[in-house]
Structure 1
């Protein structure tokens, strides 16, 4: 599990294609390498990946084609920076919210501003996932725990403070790019339970809406 507090932006030193997916090599710092072992889980740009190799400061991760198709990892290029968070320990302070690194969907960037007077990202998610996102609710965007500022149907806006811009990859993104979105699990369960209950108790009302 993760907290959504990005620990560093680290560059991709290599990307290698193999028949079933891609191997990503990320250059870690000494601090991030401390205690890291093969098989450990690391949040890379919002996606939970397992360490497959460690050679000096270079750490490798494999992503299958299914993962590449459902996230924005397939669009990454060598030299790009990625948001990185090591898995959290039980004793760690959680300054964000509980994140699994299981991307629900990708969102398309509609607008982005990094201006000091107001930095924000506005993006659109598929309709089936929009129902789980609420104003002032938690959302994991590229592995970063953020609060939704504005909601308009399937269009959502998140404001970004200077520290978030400094500590993440959001400054790289442009309109049309894809973001990895993980909705809050408890919110998703609550919405699904309410929908199923209403459908069962008031089927006629739901059918006629």
Structure 2
């Protein structure tokens, strides 16, 4: 479980075929290492996708990304030098500053527009129609693992407002129109839908 509060930006050092998937090698930032070294098997959110550390050689973190994750996320588009959002799994007793994020990506969205407003930015995204029903104004969504508040929710499009800190501390400040992002809708919304469907049936 994660919070959607990015802890640091990692740099992709390798992306190699591994069976039907891919081996992703990431160099973590110094501030993440200062919080205590991870162990093999630890879960890390990479651009919002929950991955397991399979190797720690050379101060780099390696992850095996399966075919399902490659099909559903933007991880397959990464190349050496690209920057990714990183967050370690939530520890019991920590403050939950964002919202409940599983690291299970629901689908990919596309940056539709970027509108500056002083130091802030309104960013609009297109999303699959099947995910639009889970979004509500002032509700939560994770974009590339970043917990954000929905400003406007339409059937196939939504917008968020990004403050200077978010633009500087995450990959969203580097995004351009047409870029692909990972989307995870609110976990609670999915459970409510499933429960209500059972009652109706």
TM-score (norm 1): 0.89
Residue of structure 2 equivalent to 1:116: 118
Alpha-carbon contact 2:12-2:27 (below 8 Å) kept: yes
* 1:57-101: CA deviation from partner (whole Å, max 9, x where unpaired): 211111012211110111111101100001111121111011110
Residue 188 (structure 2) pairs with residue 190 (structure 1): no
Residue of structure 1 equivalent to 2:17: 17
Residue of structure 2 equivalent to 1:39: 41
Query: Closer, same or farther in 2 for the Cα pair 1:54/1:117, shift >3 Å?
Result: closer
Shift of residue 114, structure 1, vs aligned partner: 5.1
Alpha-carbon contact 1:9-1:82 (below 8 Å) kept: yes
Shift of residue 19, structure 1, vs aligned partner: 3.0
Shift of residue 190, structure 1, vs aligned partner: 1.4
Q: What is the alpha-carbon distance in structure 2 between the residues aligned to residue 160 and residue 51 of structure 1?
A: 30
The 10-residue stretch of structure 1 (119-128 or 24-33) with the greater mean CA deviation from structure 2: 24-33
In structure 1, runs of 5+ residues without a counterpart are 201-209
Q: What is the alpha-carbon distance in structure 2 between the residues aligned to residue 179 and residue 26 of structure 1?
A: 18
Residue of structure 2 equivalent to 1:151: 153
* 1:127-183: CA deviation from partner (whole Å, max 9, x where unpaired): 111101111001111111100001222210011000000110012222222111111
Q: What is the alpha-carbon distance in structure 2 between the residues aligned to residue 39 and residue 113 of structure 1?
A: 40
SS in 2 for 1:56: helix
In structure 2, runs of 5+ residues without a counterpart are none
Q: Give the one of 133, 140, 149 matched to 1:131.
A: 133
Alpha-carbon contact 2:9-2:28 (below 8 Å) kept: no
Alignment length, in residue pairs? 199
Q: What is the alpha-carbon distance in structure 1 between the residues aligned to residue 19 and residue 56 of structure 2?
A: 22
Alpha-carbon contact 2:44-2:87 (below 8 Å) kept: yes
SS in 2 for 1:148: strand
Q: Pairwise mapping of residues 1-209 of structure 1 onto structure 2 (< 5 A)?
A: 1-33=1-33, 34-113=36-115, 116-198=118-200, 200=201
* 1:11-42: CA deviation from partner (whole Å, max 9, x where unpaired): 11121122311111111244423231001000
Q: What is the alpha-carbon distance in structure 1 between the residues aligned to residue 16 and residue 161 of structure 2?
A: 35
Query: Closer, same or farther in 2 for the Cα pair 1:157/1:28, shift >3 Å?
Result: same
Q: What is the alpha-carbon distance in structure 1 between the residues aligned to residue 99 and residue 43 of structure 2?
A: 17
**In terms of Rg, which structure is larger?**
1
Shift of residue 197, structure 1, vs aligned partner: 3.9
